[in-house]
Chains A and B, each alone.
Chain A
């Protein structure tokens, strides 16, 4: 592999690149889809290729190919330089990178059971058993269950002498029950809508015990059909980790990405209300209980690795400390502009995409004191919301609206009556400032999503979120006309 990376880097340097890096990536994805008890799809995808990123005259160029040979390394290295020179014709601020020591070494996701060595028959039968258990519940219209295994072999080299090799392994699964009656379509998902995912082996899948939870979730989907619509009003809400992680993702993860702050995502995903002046002033983002970090070293996270795609070592950086905004997720190009070092957050969606600032594992730290169950017991009158169903937030990440699959009313510290079609809405910093209880270590779980979209051409990132569940006061719920 080193001959190919050397060749691409040498070619780029000889043609004028002041800096170049190359990533050679091989990916393997296995998926199983079961629908209403039948195996609808078993798929295996493999892709490999390399991408060369260069700086010429202060401008970026990038080219990629799926042909791994030395002649192609020459062609792609030269093409990247040509592209960079075209970029330089519309350049106002030449790129400058922060310094870092050359990256060298290897990293491998720790796993117990290699998911690609588990017999396919075993994975299918585990999934079918869960799906059929959900489908056996009277009133379920259809069920869907998925399993995915993902492995990526990544070699990174740069003209500063960096050379790293990593093997990242991740798995995910879900069982979902759907109940339909008239205009109502209710859904319950375990462990999460779209799946629970971790950087782990098949032991994570076994530990979730899909089949053991399927019946309960299916019964809830059916029960929701006859539940009342959640009335509109301002309420106390307790967010289950299965909802809190996405709240965190959308309203803290994205607005603390420094490329968004500088406008490079403006035409697609948008910008951010967390401008650098708010970093200087220590903007009150949330209540004192709110502490949020981006931690690429967290066990099991989809954003856990050895080095990012610029060769910056994995690290944990604070974003919000006791409610104050204190840091960004950043890159070697953006961090120096606000007086910081790169947070190690540059990640690309495969060999054919350029790295962007992406979340690693953006997590809300637990607060000693109460478990999530104890927070419910501590709540006189409120709602318990679980499993996201819909999400939307404005292009500066202020006005959000989420829907969950289910809401339980909390009365006198106990969960009771169900409500269907729950929604809640607010303004990001007002919402986080209203947080008055955060779960402790006993409720702290690693979740994540494998499909965080950003960038043009579109990129999908696999990001982790560890969260403990939390309570928020005076939140608008029941949005719209029903």
Chain B
């Protein structure tokens, strides 16, 4: 039976509860588990009450309780298999404009007492943050339909279930004489936030990811990945076959000279573009510090490019609220190639005189808010027809080790990996050795000439994104490697 709870910020919820007895605290801590977000919220309220009782003028408590597991394989055998249970309490303790953050995994009576006392002592030692605008309060009437971010299929995944998926991936590799390297992870967590301004938010979330790199004895490599809230919907055999086919197609790669080529980027590569642009530009803090390329109304992409941040999209890994307990808003980042909005947390919103969009990270957070649920709109071109538009270009499966060369121009360098192919006359003619690129991702968006009609959910470094494959008119490759 699915156990789901999703209690969001609503006015009228009592702000705090008690100072708690020692016995109650221990019992609360023992009861917290990923399946029951209300248990996490009860612990958050307990800590909040203790903080207020000893003198906090404001306080915020974030509780995260989770069970995660990962089965890792290489050389077509499982070589690492881990499971973990963890619980973290993060307290933001405010006295006037003096702020301290203390986190702990010790949630017995003494641990909680120590948590609030340490926070109080640190706050007393801090300087005031002159533009502190206070913790977020619940938005008036800003409730939204609860989203389900939970699946028993992931929460109940066993080591044996993951091993079965891995065996399916390996079987696909064996079938074509290649070897498999990858991981199958499953995670379930309860997240709860309570603050002294009245926010009460709790939900439980699950996720699963299966990825594999297949390596051929003749030099080819191939990649495939599946991400879902529900581990049972991931087709391990299909992922194995996708990587196997690509690995064999990549055998005996030849060198093409670096230079400008039109490209088709598969979804595994496109997620790096949405992540990097979210990281560099679409954070309110980046705008406020003058280091973002984003200006409302500025064109940065072709008409075919639309990106929103939507924590409610169940094709991805949904989140109803952020780590400050603020309900996540659906934020248009780029519409038909034109910059629209950026995402805010409480502090950046206060500086801008507006409300948070629900994109805060756990305190303390000097990095600012980020879009963690990017969704790029699908286009009209069937995925298989994207390369049909290339007279002479490259098909790129994914990128490796990308990094920022110039932040305001969004110039990024990185390598291609696990399947790079030369396309001539709209047909793949053969594999090529991996190339280094040094490319402005803004220029890349401006050059998008076709968008696939299908999309995939991919985990990047900024959460999970839903992205299509893209055809881009020009991509600057600046080097080549030996494989």
* Chain A interface (Cβ < 8 Å from any Cβ of B): 31, 33, 35, 38-49, 59-67, 79, 82-84, 86-93, 119-121, 124, 128, 141-142, 144, 178, 180, 183-185, 262-268, 270, 273, 352-354, 390-396, 398-399, 401, 403, 421, 423, 425, 427, 456-457, 479-481
Contacts and interface: CB of A to CB of B under 8 A. Distances in A.
Interface of B: 68, 70-88, 99-106, 118-119, 122, 125-127, 129-131, 158-160, 162-163, 166-167, 170, 179, 181-183, 185, 211-213, 215, 289-291, 293, 363-366, 400-409, 411, 413-415, 417, 434, 436, 438-439, 476, 478-483
Nearest to B285: A35
Contacts of B366: 33, 35, 40-41, 144
Contact of A141 (B99, B290, B365): B290
Contact of B102 (A45, A82, A266, A354): A45
A393 B399 CA distance: 11
A399 B105 contact: no
Nearest to A85: B159
A65 B84 CA distance: 6
Contact of B74 (A39, A184, A266, A394): A266
Given A394-B434, A399-B480, A425-B436, A91 B104 contact: no
Given A90-B167, A456-B183, A48 B106 contact: yes
A60 to B, nearest CB: 6
Contact of A266 (B68, B87, B213): B213
Contacts of A128: 127
A145 to B, nearest CB: 10
A421 to B, nearest CB: 6
Nearest to B122: A42
A267 B182 contact: yes
B291 A43 contact: no
Given A90-B167, A390-B413, A399-B479, A185 B436 contact: no
Contacts of A421: 405-406
A423 to B, nearest CB: 6
Contact of A93 (B75, B290, B403): B75
Contact of B159 (A40, A65, A83): A83
B123 to A, nearest CB: 8
A64 B84 contact: yes
A472 B465 CA distance: 42
A44 B102 contact: yes
B117 to A, nearest CB: 11
Given A66-B105, A396-B483, A390 B403 contact: yes
A83 B213 contact: no
A456 B289 contact: no
The 3 closest A-B pairs by CB, nearest first: A41-B364, A480-B438, A86-B159
A124 B125 contact: yes
- Residue in B74, B182, B405 whose Cβ sees the most chain A Cβ within 10 Å: B405
A354 B215 contact: no
Given A86-B78, A273-B482, 12 more contacts: A44-B100, A44-B122, A66-B85, A90-B78, A141-B290, A180-B289, A266-B215, A267-B72, A392-B413, A394-B400, A398-B483, A456-B80
Contacts of A479: 413, 438, 478-479
Given A47-B105, A263-B181, A392-B415, A39 B476 contact: no
B82 A43 contact: no
